[in-house]
Structure 1
């Protein structure tokens, strides 16, 4: 059934074409969230303002068009998918207002949770909710799902830390509870609605049995159904309304801003891991710890510990634990170290009488602390990594009353065995009786679906009926538990929820079938397929954790969406369907605009590097192997050609002028589909071939200088105030520090192979890499001398899989911090400096070290928010400049007070300079400027 023409007419007049998506590729890509449900929207709209949302809601309300809101799409229960209209937050929802030295913060729904905490960190504060997805999920989803987490409990969730809200009702009406005029206007226009809310509250509080049930349910962690506690906790209709919106999963309105009362973020913390001999002892210890000054108590059953016992870095004793063992990971935090130590002593004493099988005592050591938490955090991905291809990972989320936790855990484990879920693991936030259980499930056959259905029926009866617990503690009701809401709550409470839904959404347009449904089989419908696509990505669980660091997200596809589309293409191919149009669209959306930097792998719970898939696909279409062979064997000739190209571009600049050449070049690049590179004022001037001098034999320590091919070809831009090349500047800095600089033989023929690898020629890439390693071993006297590489991407490629090689390789950051700090005196400059941490620097683990070095050099260091990758991707800034422009679209505003930026990749610096309005240079320029040789 198509959307009404009148509604579409409103959309077409309101939303630019580039923010409307109705093609098969885009609707499938956006039809995916982290849940195991799949609905394909008829229309996806990227909304950029509250006014747009209000107009769309009014039109949808008038024409009975169903609307679903999407923030980050990390929700697990099917609340962010739609077969109608999906409204996705665009870039312009990142506003914040910090008040009272961080005591409160107002946030728009597009802010990532971790970013909010980064803004609050200087004040020693944070928002209360701390979901495991906090590095990816957004405030809109955190509020709409009433998300919590490991330390949040119930006291610090959104519902209990809410200070104000700005919202739109289903008919587009705006209310801002912090603006008296808005409140007065709303009361005048919607007085009847407020009166009805107030009356429902009075009726609920006057019903002792119902009120008591509601209070009991919210004594526990609970996100099943609507937030009925608003009706017993508050008597003012506006308070009832705003608290009903929390946890409503987009079924009652749109939240355009929320104000939090923040909570302390204590700097001192320690963790311990205590393994008890059985579940009963473990859960009894939890009831004791509930009364102690703990910030988190995480339960891990034996199966969850077994799932991670073979991972690198795990303690060997994990393998030796008994069959029934059950562990608690305990954390305590405090404002001072002395208070922390008092708390630790109190906690330890409280459980000293319990029998223990194994124990790691409280430690403040970050190495020990992080290892312990890694055990907990790796359990979920461990199951995902070993599942059978084609199955999905399901993570369920229930609460037992804490006094019945032991019995509940044992009964759940028995259900795993009854239904044959042998791989299922159980862990969770024990202080709240909140347990997550993870299992793998296929949906390809009726038998598989029937097995899942029977299991969920048994779980629902066990948790909700036998134990009076919550079927959803923090993941939201969604489509998954909507059929079980009445079972958990009873008829009266369930009908009250429907009354609220019909009052606030009378036409039923907001996220229908989510939270409340009339379909008892809804949880078994529209199940997402996860067909085999490629072994590189088959373990993807489509969680979306990768998306915040992807430079192409919002321009074309994110890593998650690339995988979704490639899975669909492969499934259609196997079914004999025509995929030619889909593949043509995927070429640009999925392959050409992927930066292939691999940052997605750092965020992925199962370590998937979607860039590796893209490079593999490029190699399948790399149809010039002979040309690649020739270039590999005549690399000095390729560099000569690059210098001539830069010379021609520089001559054209002098002849036409920079503005005219930039316009002409942009047109030619677009017309040639990227075959002709785009010229910008940041384009380098050519460097002459490297002039080598025989190494002297003096007493100075030697360093082999590997100048990357880009450093050997690309000089400064004509307009750059720094006219020394990176090569000259690096050599001067090394010599200032007292080093004898040695170059490898035949330097202009050497290359790490990165250009070949990114173009899909892995054999030629590896040939060049091995050739370079051999040359560096010779130059470094078999690894005796350190090798300094002036470009971090080249360093990263070389250090991967070095095997038995004794090569001692350094990128600029690591070499400066380990070899030059004691040889140079730093005098930090007053002028602010912008820092770009390249993808390769992040992979090398030198991100913080680069920032620390910048702070040695300048009293003011700016690290632009939200820019994880510049999108230049080797040469894509020339051939696909829109990727670079999109990735750096917020850079200029972020660095407006800086005169210079630094990085560790010459090509990245071209794009950074182009889109920031300031010159970006290698780190060595800054270090050289603020240092002098230290007297040794």
Structure 2
């Protein structure tokens, strides 16, 4: 590693604001984490917000010959997003888009997540072509730079074949927008030599018959190994050649500042089916025939893959056997109408034949079944990760065989699994393209293990590239782990062309060196990432990054992946320190065996440990919302919030425990005190006015070193007393008002004065329900406030106390129970003692049992809807959406707001978490939308503060637009 020049660092500080320059070890280590099994720690991380900043940094880097690497979401698997030099990451400013030609095209900046691009296109019945498995997390920049494809994409719809235009930033800082004639003309004027060299190189490839045939063969397959040499024979115009070379270049040729895709049709009608065959030969033999049918995807799974997900919903036990020869095909077809879909199904079933499959889940348009079948396929990779030994990593490779050789390729991989001791290895893949993924676990803490991996990969490379003339990388990109094998696959002539491409476009070699082209034959077994044991809650983490897109602290501090990675490092350093650097861990941490150097390294590591521990308190613990949304996205179901709650529990002071215990035992008294405080706050806000209140609140929060909560004008006032419902109706419902709803009333300047309970009681009475309240309501709590702060015993105690009251008041479950906020229902659902009780969240109960008994007149005015993280986790989002749409003709659901980050009282004590989580909210509230709705009182505080409109319970909207039906109809 070459240290960065001091003059370079000085000039960077002149070009960028200090907030864009990251040099501390805590954040550099956190941002170094990606999904691959390589680890390099950048010396400098730069967070850039615009093309102009990028131009300046690249020009400066080239002048000083400083290597730079671009990072999007960090979900790449092959080591193309790590560096020990300068890492460039993007701020949220790179999320602009433009839908063109009625959805036929879409222009996207690199910071947009793939799934969000498809959400943008959904109203047009279109989608982008690439559909990688990580589409919910990976970003457009990475999708294009790696030429990612996926299960339905095949080859025809990848970025190479669907790109229309691109804005490129080269290593010298020059920008060219291929859609802008003036930009193109200027680029041709300044970079004529580059374009001429590309054109000359293309002509030489086209005239070299053997090389041309080699290239044509390689791209009849699915191939992302090396540079896109097909650009040199597919195109004559040099700028088109440059644009297509950028696809799959993994940041080694330039930066893709935006890309315009030609979109593809997203059919509304789909069907899926799963078929098991006696041999891989039989399954693979059917693939060619299926390719002639109207199929969107044919996914292959070997028997070991099926066995890894045994017991999953939708997978019959008959599909899981001890016969390793058995092979399954998951087939999907789609059409623009139900009739056309049925015709597709009949044709495909005829193609398969009635007797060819051993077992079948026939093609069906049942949405739940289809989701289950695809969950089986997607669950194979995490299934291996879930059973791996602690300390090992999960490696997923992807190769491509000619279709005619796919069955032999599967057999060859099975043989290698057995020969090298990878008994857990499984195979699945995109059969229509001959693209197979294989997954296995690997430790890198012993030299013998590293050598075993090396021998295995050498054997795989020979099997795929030499024996079957296939591609070593079909869609994951070359990265670092396949760079030593590119010449083996392509041959010396083609490899020399790739070298020439790199030299023409990046002559100083500053862009992502060591990726795609690497002269070191051992580079694939260097800089390997260790995954040491840290905590059993998170030890299964494979650092894929799928969790990051839903984390409310992603732009403020650490993400779940980063929290785990830094905690692993802390534990690793602590262990090495406690063993005096004499253990195996110590040897790995101190590779230099000279005594003076080891002492220096040990001092550096002690300094690092101290810094990481200090920073982790805020970036890891204090700013974690602990919502658990990360568990929903995690392939192995890790809830990083559980780790943080455990750490909070371990760090609780005796005084804190005393206060918590007192609060639990005197909950009514504490609640009344909080209510009085809110009443005083509301009165003061009315006296000072909203702007002055907010200014005073900031000063008080800062002067107290953030010990005092951030007083804001949107803080609630004191809640109204909950009165017993005096009505007598034929039906009964138990209503539990959360402590937040009981304590917190409307904000000082809120025009809406009704409480959630008042609206609920009104609605229930309209629908013929008598509302029953638990006795001693003021003392009852679900336990959530205690759980979030790490007092799990007190949380359990309060939760159990509430359940006992609910058991009694509901007559053992005879009467349904409705919780007015989603976090409370989620908390109480975790208790086993709720068995037999019928507990609902309000929106769920209203949709399932109430609204059909009301006369509803939908309002024309648009409303904003926020779905809380607890609602998402419990699968309640469809109920909130259905209820909102039943009440309003126009419902706005802002994109990218997965969690508000208020997290109990963190919105008051760590308000920057709430602000960061909602940073994109206000811009998405259109003119004319004056009200927002949700189902959590605390969330509504932060939403009101950061949206510019007031948020209330969705029940208030329902009460406004509903009236009682004919009383006889209710009865």
Q: Post-superposition, which runs of at least 4 consecutive aligned residues in structure 1 deviate over 4 A? A: none
Note the 1:502-541 alignment, pairs <5 A: 502-541=503-542
> 1:768-819 CA deviation, whole Å, 9 max, x = no partner?
0000111111111221111111111001111223346322111111111112
Alpha-carbon separation, structure 2, partners of 1:318 and 1:625: 52
Please list the CA deviations of residues 42-77 of structure 1 after superposition, one character each: whole Å capped at 9, or x if unmatched. 011111101111110000010001000001000000
Q: In 2, Cα distance between the equivalents of 1:739 and 1:771?
A: 26
Alignment of 1:45-124 (within 5 A): 45-124=46-125
**In the aligned structure 1, how far is the partner of 2:438 from the partner of 2:315?**
22
Aligned-residue offset at 1:864: 0.6
Asked if 1 retains the 8 angstrom alpha-carbon contact of 2:666 and 2:779, the reply is: yes
Task: Quote the Cα distance in structure 2 between the aligned partners of 1:407 and 1:2.
Answer: 49
Aligned-partner Cα distance in 1 for 2:643–2:93: 31
Question: Is 1:713 the counterpart of 2:768 in the alignment?
Answer: no
Deviations 1:824-880 (A, max 9, x none): 111010111000000111112111221121111111110111111000001111000
Measure the CA separation in 2 of the matches of 1:646 and 1:221. Answer: 63
Q: Partner residue of 1:462?
A: 463
Does the alignment pair 1:628 with 2:660? Answer: yes
Tell me, in whole angstroms, the C-alpha distance in 2 between the residues paired with 1:688 and 1:181. 65
Instruction: Report whether the alignment pairs 1:875 with 2:905.
Output: yes
Match of 1:642 in 2: 674
Aligned to 1:932: 963
Q: Partner residue of 2:695?
A: 663
Cα deviation, residue 354, structure 1: 6.5
Counterpart in 2 of 1:169?
170
Question: Does the 8 Å contact 1:221/1:474 carry over to 2?
Answer: yes
Secondary structure of 1:69's aligned partner: strand
Is 1:141 the counterpart of 2:171? The answer is no
1:234 corresponds to which residue?
A: 235
Task: Classify the secondary structure of the residue corresponding to 1:834.
Answer: strand
Say if 2:900 is the partner of 1:899.
Answer: no
Q: Is residue 782 of structure 2 the alignment partner of residue 752 of structure 1?
A: yes
Matched, 1:912 2:913: no
Q: Give SS of 1:345's match.
A: helix
Rounded to whole Å, the distance in 1 between the matches of 2:352 and 2:892 is 47
> 1 CA distance for matches of 2:363 and 2:322?
20
Distance 1:650 1:368, change over 3 A: closer
Q: CA deviation at 1:675?
A: 2.3
Q: Deviations over 1:669-724 (max 9, x none)?
A: 2333432111111111112544447x66x452111111111111111011111011
What are the residue-to-residue correspondences of 1:490-505 with 2, within 5 Å? 490-505=491-506
- The residue number in structure 2 matching 1:864 is 894
What does residue 774 of structure 1 align with?
804
How does 1:286-685 map onto structure 2 within 5 Å?
286-311=287-312, 314-320=315-321, 322-352=323-353, 355-576=356-577, 578=606, 579-623=609-653, 624-685=656-717
Q: Is the 8 A contact 1:822 1:934 kept in 2?
A: no
Shift in Å, 1:559: 0.6
For residues 354 and 69 of structure 1, the distance between their equivalents in structure 2, rounded to whole angstroms, comes to 52
Looking at structure 1, the residues matched to 846 and 729 of structure 2 have their Cα atoms a distance apart, in angstroms, of 21
Report the counterpart of residue 809 of structure 1 in structure 2.
839
Task: Give the stretch that moved more between structures: 335-344 or 739-748.
Answer: 335-344
Residue 131 (structure 2) aligns with: 130
Distance 1:310 1:854 in 2: 36
- Aligned equivalent of 2:850: 820
CA distance in 1, matches of 2:895, 2:433: 35
Q: Which runs of 5+ in 2 are unaligned?
A: 578-604
CA distance in 1: counterparts of 2:91 and 2:636, whole angstroms: 27
- Partner deviation per Cα, 1:271-302 (whole Å, 9 max, x = no partner): 11111101111111112222222111111001
Q: Which residue of 1 aligns with 2:189?
A: 188
Query: 1 CA distance for matches of 2:690 and 2:490?
Result: 70
The 3 A distance-change label for structure 1 pair 670 and 379 is same
Deviation at residue 538 of structure 1 after TM alignment: 0.6
**1:38 and 1:528 in contact (8 A); partners too:** yes
Three-state SS of the structure 2 residue aligned to 1:575 is helix
Q: Is the 8 A contact 1:715 1:726 kept in 2?
A: no
Alignment TM-score, normalising by the size of structure 1: 0.98
The alpha carbon displacement at 1:525 in A equals 0.3
Kept in 1, the 8 Å contact 2:729–2:765? The answer is no
Per the alignment, residue 736 of structure 1 pairs with: 766
Range 431-440 or range 723-732, more displaced: 723-732
Residues 277 and 709 of structure 1: CA distance in aligned 2, closer, same or farther (over 3 Å): same
Distance in 2 (CA, whole Å) between partners of 1:331 and 1:737 is 44
Structure 1 residues 293, 312: CA separation in 2 closer, same or farther (over 3 Å shift)?
Answer: closer
Deviates more, 1:473-482 or 1:275-284: 275-284
CA contact (8 A) 1:674 1:878 kept: no
Secondary structure of 2:376's partner? helix
Q: Residue 273 in 1 paired to residue 305 in 2?
A: no
From 835, 847, 864, the equivalent of 2:877 is: 847
Cα distance, 1:504 vs structure 2: 0.5
State whether residues 281 and 354 of structure 1, in contact with CA within 8 Å, keep that contact through their aligned partners in structure 2: no
Aligned-partner Cα distance in 2 for 1:754–1:691 = 24
| Alpha-carbon displacement from aligned partner over 1:633-660 (angstroms, at most 9, x marks no partner) | 1100110110121122123224433322
Q: Which runs of 5+ in 1 are unaligned?
A: none
How far 1:742 moved relative to its partner? 1.1
Q: Which residue of 1 aligns with 2:581?
A: none
Is the CA contact 1:593–1:880 (under 8 Å) kept in the aligned structure 2?
yes
Question: How many correspondences in the alignment?
Answer: 934
Aligned partners of 2:515 and 2:854: how far apart in 1?
A: 63
Q: Distance in 2 between matches of 1:286 and 1:691?
A: 67
- Secondary structure, counterpart of 1:740 in structure 2: strand
| Whole-angstrom CA distance in 2 between matches of 1:913 and 1:271 | 43
| Contact 1:629/1:764 (8 A) holds in 2 | yes
What RMSD, in angstroms, separates the aligned Cα atoms of the two structures?
1.3
Structure 1 residues 205 and 374, CA gap change in structure 2 (3 angstroms)? same
Structure 2 contact 67–85 (Cα < 8 Å) conserved: yes
The alignment's TM-score, normalised by the length of structure 2, stands at: 0.95
Contact 2:803–2:834 (8 Å) recurs in 1: no
Deviates more, 1:428-437 or 1:370-379: 370-379
Q: What is the match of residue 205 of structure 1?
A: 206
